[in-house]
Structure 1
Amino acid sequence: MADVQIEELNSGDGVRPPRAGNLAGAVLARGGVALAGVVVLIDLLAAVLVPVHGWRPPLVVPLVLLLVAFSAPLVRRVPAVAVPSWTTLACVAIAVGHGVWAGLTHAEHVVLRRDAGSYALYTQWISTHHGLQIPSQLDAFGGAAALADPAFRLGSPAFFQVTTGGGAEIVPQFFLGAPAVYSLGWWTTGGFAGVFVMPAIASAAALLALAGLAARLVGPRWAVLATAALAICQPMLHAARSTYSEPVALLVVAAAAALLVDATRATGRAAVSLGWAAGLGFGFAGLIRVDALREVSLLLPVCAVLALRKHPAARPIAFGALFGTAIAVVPAVLLSRPYLGNIGGSLVPLVGLTVVLGAGAWVAARWGTAIGRRLPTIARLPELTAGLVLLVGVVLAARPLFMTVHQSAADPGSKVVAGLQLRQGLTVDGGRTYAEHSVQWLSWYVGPLVLVAALLTFAGLAGLSVRWWRSDETEVPGWLGPAVVALGSIVLTLYRPGITPDHPWADRRMVPIVFPAVIIAAVAFLAWLVRRMRTGPALKVTVATVGAVAVLLPTWAATAPVAGAAGRTEVGEVAAAQKVCAQLDPSLDAVVALDARSANEWPQLIRGLCGVPASSVKIADPDRGADAVRGIVARITEADRRPVLIAAQDEGRTLMKQVDVSQEPQVVADLATREDQRYLERRPDGTDPLGVQLWMIRL
C-alpha cells in the first residue's frame, strides 16, 4: 500500500476529475456539512441566549431560520463533483434507515442513573425554563441555615450544588451543545417524546456527513459500504437511541473533517474560506464535548506542515480552530465550571498537550525548513514510520499481557466498578479501569480483520506522508489532515478511555472518532486491495464482495441481539415520573430523599419536571439518621412547606418509619423495565431487568 494515496482510490469508481457536480454529488458533498452548520448555529445561539434566559421558541426558531438562510450561500461554496446517483441514494437511505431504526427503538432514560438521564433532564430544564442556572429553592428548606447542616444536600449526580453568597444554585454537569439541539424536540412535541428521537436524527445526519467524508477519501461507491458498516455498529446505535452528546459531536467533527479535505485540495481564496470553515468546525465542536480539544490539538501540527508547504489554508485552519475553541470556552466556564473542575485530572493534560503541540507547530512553521536541512537523512524513513505505527497498534492490543491499569481508589467510579466485579464473580479491585482492554472493546463490535486492515491503512499512510514530505511534490494529499487527527485521537482514546468501564455504556467514548475512523480506514484498505488487482472485473467483484461481508458480518453479529425492540431500555420511566409528580404540590411540598438511590435518581427530576423543591440527606452516622432528618423536616415546616420523604431502597423506608411511626410509606412508582447490561469483561448481548420503585410519606 506504500505507493498509493487514498484519493487515488477514486480511479476505479468511474468518477472523472473534479468538475461541476450533479445533484447527487452536491447532496453527498454538502448535505452533512449543511446539517452540521445548523447544529453549530443552534449551539452558538444557545451560548448567547441560555445565560440570559432567552432560550424561547418564538425567539430561537426565527433566528435559526434567519441564520440558516444567511449561511446557505456559504454551503454552496463547498466543492462537489459528479457521482453516480445510486451511491448518494444508497447513503441517504442508509442514514435515514439508521435514524428511523434508532428512533423507533429509543430509550426513555429520565430517572437519573447515567449520563443519558442527565442530558434528558438538562434538555427538559432549558426547554421549559429558558435558561440556567437552576434555582435551588433553598428557602423551602429554611434558607442559608440549611447549608450549615452536614447532612443536607441539594445536588445529585450531574447536577452540582454550588454555594453563592448566602444561597445556592444547581449547575448541570455537561456542556450546553447537545441539550440545546435536543430542546427543539421538546418544543416540537411538548415533552420528552421529541427529545428521545433527536439523537436518532442527529446520528442520521452524522452518517450523511461521514458518507461525504468517505466519498472524498475512498470514493463514492466505497462510501456506501463504510456508511452501512457504521449504521449497524452497535455503539453508534446505542448512542443514537439515548440522549447522549456523541451523535451531535460526531456530526460536527465529521463535517469539519470533510471540509479539511476540501481545504487542503483547494487553492487560492477557496482554500482560505474552506480552511476557516474546517477550523471553526473543529473548534466549535467544543460547544458539545470537552474532548473536542484533543482534535484541535492534533490539528495544529497539520497546520504547521501546510504552512511549510506555503498552503493558503494553513493559517485559516489554525486560527479558525483556536478561535472556535476560544468561543466554546466561554459557555463552558460560565455554565459548566464545576464539571471542568471535576475532570481536571483529564482536562489539564489535554490542555497541556494542546499547548505543547501548538508551540511545536509554531516553531516548525517558522523554522522547520532550516531545521530540516540540518537534520541527518535517515535511510528508509517511510518504512520506519510505518513500522512505528504498526508497533504502537500491536503494543496497545497486547497490553493485557503485561499491564493492569488502575485509577485512584478514591475516584467515585471505583465503588461502581467494585460492585460490578462482585456481582459478576470477578476479583474485586475497584481501582481498575480496564483501559488495557480498549482494543478488545473495538474488536467486539467490528471484528479483528477490520482492526488489522485499519492498522495497515494508517501504517501505509504514515509512510506515505513521510515520502510525500521528502519529495518535491507541492500538492498536499487530501487525506493528510483527517489521517493525522484520526490516528492521534484513536491512540489517545485507546490509551486512556477515561470512562467507567462497563459496557455498552463505555463504548460510546469511541463513537465520535474511533469507530468511524477505523471503519473508513478498513474500507480504504479493501478498496486499495481491489484496485491493485491485475485481474478481470469478475474476480475484483468477488474480492470486493467477500471483503464487504468481512466488514459487515462481525458488526451485524454484535448488533443483532439488541437490534430490535428487545434492545429498548428504560421504557416507562416518563410515565413513572409523571405519577410521582401527580402526588406532589409545587406550591406546598418540599421533598427529601432518604437513601443513596433515591438521592441519585429523583431530586433533579422532581425539581425540574414536577416543579417541587427537592433535596437529599447524607447520613454519616446511621444511629443518628432519624435525628438528622427531623432537623431538615423542622426547617421545612418553619418555612411553611409540607415535608415529603421519599425512598427507593429498604434503608430509606426504614428511616421513614423511624422519623414517623404513625404512617406506612406509600408506593408512588413501581416500574418493571429493562436496562443495558453492565459487563466489564465481555461484550453485552442483551438487556437486564430494572426495577424503578419510589416510596413516599407526607408529614
Structure 2
Amino acid sequence: MLARSGPLAACFLAIAGLLAALLVPFGGWLPGLVVPLLVVGLVFSVWVVRFVPAGPAPRWSAPAVIAIAAGHGVWAALTHAEHVVLRRDAGSYALYSQWIATRHGLPIPSWLEAFGGSQALTDPAFRLASPAYYQVVHGSAGAAGTTVDIVPQFLLGAPAVYSLGWWAAGWNGLLIVPAICSALALLGFAGLVARLLGPRWAVLATLSLAMIQPVLHAARSTYSEPIALLFVAVAAALLVDAVAAGNPLRKNGFAIPGVHGTDDPRAARGLGLAAGLAFGLAGLFRVDGLREVSLLLPVVAVLALRRHPAARPLVAGALGGTAIAVIPAVWLSRPYLGTISASLVPLIAGGVVLGLGSWAVVAIARRREGRTGALYLRLTTDAGQNRWPWLLAGAVGLIGVVLAGRPLWMTTRQDPNDPGSRVVAGLQLEQGLAVDGGRTYAEHSLNWISWYTGPAMLVAAWLVFMVLAAATGRWWLNSAARGSSGAGRTTGVPFWLGPAVIAFGSILLTLYRPGITPDHPWADRRMVPVVIPAFVIAATAAAAWVSRRALHRWPATALTGVVAVAVVVMVLPPWLATQPVAGQRTETGEVAAVEAVCDALGDHDVVLALDNRAANEWPQVVRGSCDRPAASVRITDITDTAAVVAVVKPIVARITAAGNTPVLLAATPEGEAVIQALGLTSEEVVNLTSNEDQRYLTKVPDGEAPLPVQVWLAPAAGVS
C-alpha cells in the first residue's frame, strides 16, 4: 500500500491531464465522454502499478499513513476556502476549472458583438482582459472579421482535475478536490520516505508534512501545488525503485554502503521509464516541472557512466513526457508563458546547458575509457579519498550559511514597474515598513520555511545534506577507482542519489529566487512541491540515523528518548505554527455572492465593470458563472468622475446600439459614485463581510483579515 498508492494516484491524474489536453481544445471535455474514459484510465492505472515493487512493512504503518493522509484531506475539505471572486491565483484556477466543466472547451469567447463589434477595440478605455485572463485579438481593431478570444492563465492540468468536482457537486465539489489531491500527495510522499528511510519513519515524516501550514493552505484552495507535490514525490520514488532494480546484488565481493540492488535490468528499464514520465508529465500541471527535469539530466549522466540499465529509459521518459506537456502549454497558455518569459527562458536555457553538458561528459568518458586510470588512481589515493568528500560536505555547509546569512548583507529587488511591486509597496505602507516596492524579500526565503518547521528541523536537514554530499563523493571515488583498477565498472549507484541531487538543486534554485509576490501565507506555497518535503525527509533521516546508533550502542532508554525528541522536533513546531489558523476558513460567502450577481442579471444584459476592483474581480465571474458578456473600463483615476463619465458613455452607447442592455457594475463606493454621476439608480446586490488570510511581508501569519465584498448594478440603457 505504501509503495503503490502514490503511483496509482499519479497515473490516474496524468491520464486526466492527457485527456484534457486532447479534448479541451476541441470542446470535448464533456462528462458523458470523459467519465467513461477516466474509468478505463483507472483500470489501466491499477494494472500498471502492479509492476511497482512493494517491500515488507509493519502492519500498522500503512493504516497509520492512510489515517494521517485522510485526516489531512478531510480537515482541508472542511475548512476549504471559497475563493471564486478573482483576487489571487486560487480564484483564477477556480474560474478556469468552472469554465471547462460547464463550457467543455477553450478559448473563452469574448462576445465582442455584444459591445458593438471590432469598433469597440478602437476605444482605448475598453478592455476585455482581466487579471489571469488575457485578451487575444485576431485581426486589427476596427477591421471587419476581427475576433477576440479570452485565454486563461496557467496550465490546463490542474483545472481539468478540479473540474471533475464540479460535475459531482458544483462549486462545493470543485473546491474540495484540492484537499483530496493533497491527501493523495501525502500517500505518494509516504511511499518515497518508506523507500528511503523505511516504512516506520514514513509515518512520522507524513505526520509532520501534513501539519505544516503551507501544505494545508495549498490544500484548502484551488492551487496546483498539491498535484505537483504528488508528481514530484512519485517520480522520485519510482527513480529510487529503478536505481535499486538495476543495481547488482554483489559483484566480485564488492559492495557499496547505501546501494541497494536486485539485479533486474528489465524491471529497472520499466521503472526508469515510469519515473521519467512522471517527471515530464508533471509539466501538464506546473511550469516549474521543467526544473526537476533539468536537474534529472545530470543524474541520468551518472547512471549512464555506471552502465545502469535505467539511464536511457529514464531520459526518454522525462524528455518525452516534457514534450507532451509542452504542446497544450503552448497551444492554450501562450500569453501566460510570455508573461513569465523572464523566468522561463533562463529555466529552459539551464535545462539545455545541463542536458548538453551531461551528454558531453558521458560521450567523452566513453571515448576515453581505458585511458583514465592514472587520473582515477591519483584522485583515489588515501589523501584524495579523505579530502574530496569533506570538501563537498564543506561546500554544502557553506551554502547553507550563506543562505541563512543573506538578510544580514543582501537586499533582493525586482523591476519597480512590475505589478507585484505596486502590491508590495502598498503592503509596506500598511505595515509600517520602509516603502520600497521593488523588494522581493527573497533573502529571507530560508526564514520563511523555519516559521513553519522550526530551526531545529532545518539545521538537522542541512547536516544530512552535508553528509549526503560527502557520501556521494566517497561513492564516486570508490566506484571510479574500481573501474580503473581492471575489476570492471560496477553499475551500483546509491538509491538515494537521484532524489538527493534533484531535491537539493531545486531547494537552491527556489530559495535563491522564489519568484512570487512575497506576502504570506500565499508566497509560501512556492515551497510546497519540493522544498518543504525535502527538508522533512532530510530531518527524518537525521532522526533515523541517531535512532540506529542508539539501538546498537546505547541503552534501551536512550532509544526511547531519541524517538521522543524526534517526534517533538518534527511535530511540535509545525503544530504551533498551524494551530492559530487550523480552523480558519477564508472567502466564505463568495459563492453566494456570485449567485446573487447572476440572479440580478437578465438574458440581454451586458456587464461593464467600472472601478479597478470590479475590473479585476468580476469580468470572468460574469462570463463563466452568469453566462453574460463582460468587459471593463480602463480608468486612471476613479475619483475624477467627469473624466470617467466621458469614457463610459461611448461604450454604453455601442452596447445599446448592438441591441443589448448595458449594466454597470461597481465594486467600490467610488465606482458607485460614477453610477450616480451618470444619473442612474443602482442596486446593491452584494454586501458581504468575508475574510481572507493576513498579508504579511516580514512575519508569519497567525490569523485572518476582514474582506468586504460589495457589488452595485445599474442598468444604463438610458445613458446618452
The letter of the residue matching 1:326 is A
Aligned to 1:14: none
Deviation string 1:287-307 (CA, Å, 9 cap, x unpaired) is 000000000000000000000
Aligned to 2:217: 238
Partner SS, residue 2 of structure 2: helix
CA–CA distance in 1 between the matches of 2:695 and 2:178?
A: 22
Displacement after TM superposition at 1:606 (Å): 0.5
Aligned to 1:485: 502
Aligned to 1:633: 652
Deviation string 1:248-269 (CA, Å, 9 cap, x unpaired) is 1111111111101000001311
1:133 and 2:112 matched: no
Does the 8 Å contact 1:151/1:620 carry over to 2? no
CA–CA distance in 1 between the matches of 2:626 and 2:605?
A: 11
Aligned to 1:436: 443
Deviation string 1:16-71 (CA, Å, 9 cap, x unpaired) is xxxxxxxxxxx110011101110000000000000010001111111111122234
Deviation string 1:415-459 (CA, Å, 9 cap, x unpaired) is 000000000010100000000000000000000000001101111
The letter of the residue matching 1:645 is L
Aligned to 2:80: 106
CA–CA distance in 1 between the matches of 2:622 and 2:698?
A: 36
Aligned to 1:460: 467
CA–CA distance in 2 between the matches of 1:130 and 1:74?
A: 29
CA–CA distance in 1 between the matches of 2:39 and 2:469?
A: 43
1:609 and 2:625 matched: yes
Displacement after TM superposition at 1:82 (Å): 1.2
- For 2:522, which of 478, 495, 505 is the aligned residue? 505
- For 1:96, which of 52, 70, 82 is the aligned residue? 70
Does the 8 Å contact 2:245/2:268 carry over to 1? yes
- How do 1:231-270 and structure 2 match up within 5 A? 231-267=210-246, 268-270=265-267
CA–CA distance in 2 between the matches of 1:552 and 1:630?
A: 60
Partner SS, residue 76 of structure 1: helix
Aligned to 1:287: 284
- For 2:49, which of 75, 78, 86 is the aligned residue? 75
Displacement after TM superposition at 1:665 (Å): 2.2
Percentage of matched positions with identical amino acids: 61
- For 2:156, which of 176, 197, 201 is the aligned residue? 176
CA–CA distance in 1 between the matches of 2:313 and 2:465?
A: 26
CA–CA distance in 2 between the matches of 1:624 and 1:677?
A: 35
CA–CA distance in 1 between the matches of 2:456 and 2:112?
A: 57
Aligned to 1:415: 422
The letter of the residue matching 1:667 is E
CA–CA distance in 1 between the matches of 2:300 and 2:336?
A: 31
1:315 and 2:296 matched: no
- For 1:681, which of 698, 707, 712 is the aligned residue? 698
Aligned to 2:616: 600
Displacement after TM superposition at 1:364 (Å): 1.6
Provide the aligned length of Structure 1 versus Structure 2: 667
Aligned to 1:167: 147
Does the 8 Å contact 2:688/2:709 carry over to 1? yes
Deviation string 1:5-24 (CA, Å, 9 cap, x unpaired) is xxxxxxxxxxxxxxxxxxxx
CA–CA distance in 2 between the matches of 1:218 and 1:536?
A: 23
The letter of the residue matching 2:121 is L
Displacement after TM superposition at 1:654 (Å): 2.1
Deviation string 1:141-193 (CA, Å, 9 cap, x unpaired) is 0010011110000111101111112111100001001111111100011x110
The letter of the residue matching 2:197 is V
Deviation string 1:237-256 (CA, Å, 9 cap, x unpaired) is 00000000100111111111
Does the 8 Å contact 2:190/2:203 carry over to 1? yes
Partner SS, residue 668 of structure 1: strand
CA–CA distance in 2 between the matches of 1:688 and 1:650?
A: 20
Aligned to 2:260: none
Displacement after TM superposition at 1:598 (Å): 0.5
The letter of the residue matching 1:682 is K
CA–CA distance in 1 between the matches of 2:353 and 2:232?
A: 22
The letter of the residue matching 2:457 is V
CA–CA distance in 2 between the matches of 1:486 and 1:368?
A: 26
Does the 8 Å contact 1:56/1:127 carry over to 2? yes
Greater CA drift, 547-556 or 238-247: 547-556
The letter of the residue matching 2:213 is Q
Does the 8 Å contact 2:16/2:161 carry over to 1? yes
Structure 2: which 5+ runs fail to align? 140-145, 247-264, 480-489
The letter of the residue matching 1:287 is L
Aligned to 2:689: 672
Displacement after TM superposition at 1:529 (Å): 1.2
- How do 1:342-361 and structure 2 match up within 5 A? 342-361=339-358
Deviation string 1:640-671 (CA, Å, 9 cap, x unpaired) is 0001001112321222222x22x332211111
1:386 and 2:366 matched: no
Does the 8 Å contact 2:12/2:45 carry over to 1? no
Deviation string 1:211-257 (CA, Å, 9 cap, x unpaired) is 00000001111110000000100000000000001001111111111
Aligned to 1:575: 592
CA–CA distance in 1 between the matches of 2:435 and 2:289?
A: 34
Structure 1: which 5+ runs fail to align? 1-26
Partner SS, residue 471 of structure 1: helix
- For 2:541, which of 517, 524, 528 is the aligned residue? 524
Displacement after TM superposition at 1:346 (Å): 0.3
Aligned to 2:432: 425
1:366 and 2:366 matched: no
Answer with 1 or 2: which has the greater Rg: 2
- How do 1:556-567 and structure 2 match up within 5 A? 556-564=575-583, 567=584
Aligned to 1:185: 165
Aligned to 1:7: none
Does the 8 Å contact 1:282/1:324 carry over to 2? yes
- For 1:538, which of 557, 564, 569 is the aligned residue? 557
Deviation string 1:281-330 (CA, Å, 9 cap, x unpaired) is 00000000000000000000000000000000011111110110000000
CA–CA distance in 2 between the matches of 1:431 and 1:655?
A: 33
Greater CA drift, 372-381 or 63-72: 372-381
Displacement after TM superposition at 1:620 (Å): 4.2
1:199 and 2:215 matched: no
CA–CA distance in 2 between the matches of 1:569 and 1:135?
A: 31
CA–CA distance in 2 between the matches of 1:432 and 1:664?
A: 44
Deviation string 1:95-143 (CA, Å, 9 cap, x unpaired) is 0000001000000000000000000000000000001000000100001
The letter of the residue matching 2:388 is L
CA–CA distance in 2 between the matches of 1:444 and 1:669?
A: 37
The letter of the residue matching 1:615 is A
Displacement after TM superposition at 1:538 (Å): 2.4
CA–CA distance in 2 between the matches of 1:297 and 1:441?
A: 25
The letter of the residue matching 1:28 is L
Does the 8 Å contact 1:297/1:353 carry over to 2? yes
TM-score w.r.t. the length of structure 1 is 0.94
CA–CA distance in 2 between the matches of 1:204 and 1:367?
A: 45
- For 1:549, which of 528, 545, 568 is the aligned residue? 568
CA–CA distance in 1 between the matches of 2:407 and 2:675?
A: 48
Does the 8 Å contact 1:665/1:697 carry over to 2? yes
Does the 8 Å contact 1:409/1:430 carry over to 2? yes
Aligned to 1:85: 59
CA–CA distance in 2 between the matches of 1:144 and 1:461?
A: 62
Greater CA drift, 545-554 or 62-71: 62-71
TM-score w.r.t. the length of structure 2 is 0.91
CA–CA distance in 2 between the matches of 1:368 and 1:525?
A: 35
Does the 8 Å contact 2:612/2:635 carry over to 1? no
